Amino acid sequence: MARRAGGGGRTPAAWAVAAALLLAAAAAGPAAAEAISGPRLDYVLHCMGCHLEDGGGAPESVPTLEGFGRFLQIPDGRAYLVRVPGSAHAPLDDAALAALLNWMLVRFDPTRARAPEFRPYEAAEVTRYRAVPLADADAERRRLLRVLDGDPSGDR
């Protein structure tokens, strides 16, 4: 799977966790290695440093991932999940980012990810959304939450 160049802001803790996972997988065999590669490993390397292993984030600075699939209910929300800086600037190609977002939705919002109307992200969609930079992620999040809560002031 192609990756973008660069280290991508990985923390020493993320590297240590990734190394431990890879060593454990190597010792356990091919099935275990497959279980921690791909989106799960990408989460460890590119998301877990801020969002934590359980997706809990940090109050007042990093949003929780619990229930974050609610953003998929509106088109701007779907784009937002790709356009937030952590996603948009992750050193992953568009297919890998789509797979990571889909994995995260299943992991942290399984009810929405299993709903009949759930539509997984695809690489072409990620490409389109990444092409439009997000100027202020916090303001956009607040606006989208107002829309999701039925507040007309959230509409542009």
Domain residue extents for the chain: 10-41, 64-154
> Using CA atoms, how far apart are residues 118 and 39, in angstroms rounded to an integer?
18
Instruction: Kindly give, in sequence order, each residue whose CB lies less than 8 Å from that of residue 27, ignoring residues fewer than 6 positions away.
Output: none
pTM, two decimal places: 0.76
Residue 6 pLDDT: 47
| 3-class DSSP assignment, residue 62 | strand
Per residue of the chain (156 residues), give pLDDT as tens: 444 444 455 567 766 666 666 666 666 665 655 566 799 999 999 999 999 999 999 988 899 999 999 999 999 999 999 999 999 999 999 999 999 999 999 999 999 999 999 999 999 999 999 999 899 999 999 999 999 999 877 666
